[in-house]
Structure 1
């Protein structure tokens, strides 16, 4: 214990350099833990982009491709699903709810999703959070549209704004549905998911847009059907892109998945969203590992700075070591003193780094949750974070042994003599 008090007093006599060393370690620890916490929460948020959904069904392709176009609105389906196939599967006794999804149109680069009221009732994200409206309400009329938060913000749209949808998913389209404009009736609250960049309309609205199309092009002249005329037609969908299923019992998931994959009506693929999300995350995890590696090297740089500071002060402290030897300190005590100084600097840096981390989270958490849907908890360090901190302390012990060994050797050679 007396060695620890002596180490602290020695650091207090060199407080300026000690504080700089502690600050360097603290900043590197803050960066490392911030990257680890953001990485962990981003993985959790990514994995819960869609939650509460047991199966996603689409045309037979790859699981990642189906996930990308149905959840992330990236890419296109290889084929559509017949409406009668959707009805047949959604009416199975294991199914609690079903959300149809129809893609293919866009508006100024934002994807348009045709769906039903079940989307607003049963679609969940994050930690089982449901969709909510910042303004307005779900669509009820044939030409109503509900905007994601990013769409409304970037385009400056408000309730009542008229918008014309375009055929295809490109940012620029030469084929627009100008004869059937939609009106904004609702704006969803921010979710931090692809929902924010999606325009939602009814399935019947999607059918109305294409009711007079022939061979992928709009009819001309007398073949055109106006917006009001479309209201009088049967707008039951002929096909959809994909659909989501929620089951009464999770235990039925694999049995129904196998049944859908063996569906004889048409080739279909049913995937478990969580499994597909983990597969996709595995493809994207290289960047997070690289960022974590950079943070580790930043911490090592801070520890090397501490080592440099201690080593550079050893020659100036030869008299101090000699005086300690004269009052009975043995070389092993000198070794322990220098090692305790290194560990004390590291522990102080870790404590300050944790303080900076929690202060930063407290300030930035509302903004991160609003802008990116990323929730950073203010809880105790996780197991992974404690392992990283233990590794930092262990590295400081190893680095502290270098100046401690030099001081130990000098104490044996110098005795009370001073070399200039």
Structure 2
């Protein structure tokens, strides 16, 4: 058996100029399947780990997925606001343990700005109920003295080079990282008269928190004094120090995170929110909203996997075509093997092992290519989309996909091998022209 393996390996190596392209095509197909499966797994894991310990997300009635994406992941368009009166009444519900209001809509150099209260840092959790931890500094003070204080995420600090005491200005509206610096500068100038001081930097979490600037709700109100419908009024400019003299309690917020005294009460509180009479509200369970999101994205995932499978199929078919095309040229070689004592089963085994060698080489090269591409793409994915690909041990599904490619390559080599098996010794010594 070992001698047959060596012969198959050497035979494939002697025809490397032809088979190298088959190996490359198999490697690309394997790398595509391997990377897509890891990307699919890590995206789901990243989304599912972004918030925990929150029983309900409450906001104005809209799409559950839209409310979830904007309030937690800061993705999508700004939904309608809910009144602070509703937030206070929700907090008074007998089954509610805590409520954390959220206000979004501003940004800093492409990073979203989240207005909230210090309770956010106490109750918000990620992963397996891991709390937020300050790497440096402290939480902003919920007083007028600490009105212009900010706590930034780890990614904001790393990418912008910020430290404690850094002065930053906020811009109106949400903007992408890809905007040119001049346009971003113009947006930052909208609130340049009210600079903020970085008083805290959060430890990395691998969630959207890393890319968020956190300020108080009163700070956002101070920024927009003299603004109407998102536009500054002529002559309505109010200096930073004078803003403290106004009532800065917000009338509206974007959404609220809700924690319950008992998980068993989640449906009762959700019914209370959905039937709330003063305004149209909606309570969303994060897990259910993520399930709806995956049901929509599942079609795209399946389409990508189908395309990858077709690429792998084409590569396997090309392997069979190359081996078949070379059979006529190899008839004398096979006849010589028969003449020195190799039986038909040896010829069958030789060609199947040769196909298996080529397939193994393609799969191994594809796995290495996949890991290399993931290592190169991870920094960009983390900065742009907040997705970190794990360069960890292979997933069971990844191994299954690689096994499917190996099996398909072996099966594809059976056709040419069976044809060679049926070749007679006389046919090999007297080839047709």
TM-score bracket relative to the smaller structure: 0.7 to 0.9
Q: Would you say the 8 A contact 1:190–1:373 is kept in 2?
A: no
Q: Which residue of 2 aligns with 1:146?
A: 151
- Deviation for aligned residue 1:168: 4.2
Q: Which residue of 2 aligns with 1:104?
A: 105
Seen in structure 2, the aligned counterparts of structure 1 residues 397 and 46 have a Cα distance that, compared at 3 Å, is same
1-structure distance, mates of 2:229, 2:327:
84
Per-residue CA deviation, residues 166-192 of structure 1 (Å, 9 max, x unaligned), is 444466659934543322223344545
Per-residue CA deviation, residues 133-189 of structure 1 (Å, 9 max, x unaligned), is 454332121110223445445655443333343444466659934543322223344
Per-residue CA deviation, residues 65-124 of structure 1 (Å, 9 max, x unaligned), is 22233123331222x222232122224343333221012334455432210112223323
Seen in structure 2, the aligned counterparts of structure 1 residues 359 and 155 have a Cα distance that, compared at 3 Å, is closer
2-structure distance, mates of 1:232, 1:269:
35
- Given the two structures, how large is their TM-score scaled by the length of structure 2? 0.79
Counterpart selection for 2:393 from 374, 379, 382: 379
Q: CA RMSD in A?
A: 3.7
2-structure distance, mates of 1:114, 1:244:
13
2-structure distance, mates of 1:368, 1:225:
40
- Stretches of structure 2 that go unaligned for 5 or more consecutive residues are 176-183
1:303 aligns with 2:316: yes
1:117 aligns with 2:122: no
Pairing 1:5-404 to 2, within 5 Å after superposition: 5-17=3-15, 20=20, 22=23, 25-73=26-74, 74-78=76-80, 80-126=81-127, 128-140=129-141, 141-152=146-157, 157-169=162-174, 176-210=190-224, 226-231=239-244, 234-284=247-297, 288-326=301-339, 330-351=343-364, 353-354=366-367, 357=370, 367=379, 371=383, 372-376=386-390, 378-382=392-396, 384-404=397-417
2-structure distance, mates of 1:254, 1:227:
44
Seen in structure 2, the aligned counterparts of structure 1 residues 26 and 128 have a Cα distance that, compared at 3 Å, is farther
Seen in structure 2, the aligned counterparts of structure 1 residues 179 and 354 have a Cα distance that, compared at 3 Å, is closer
- Given the two structures, how large is their TM-score scaled by the length of structure 1? 0.81
Q: Would you say the 8 A contact 1:113–1:198 is kept in 2?
A: yes
1-structure distance, mates of 2:110, 2:329:
67
Structure 1 counterpart SS, 2:115: strand
2-structure distance, mates of 1:158, 1:43:
32
- Stretches of structure 1 that go unaligned for 5 or more consecutive residues are none
Structure 1 counterpart SS, 2:9: helix
Q: Which residue of 1 aligns with 2:179?
A: none
Seen in structure 2, the aligned counterparts of structure 1 residues 8 and 62 have a Cα distance that, compared at 3 Å, is same
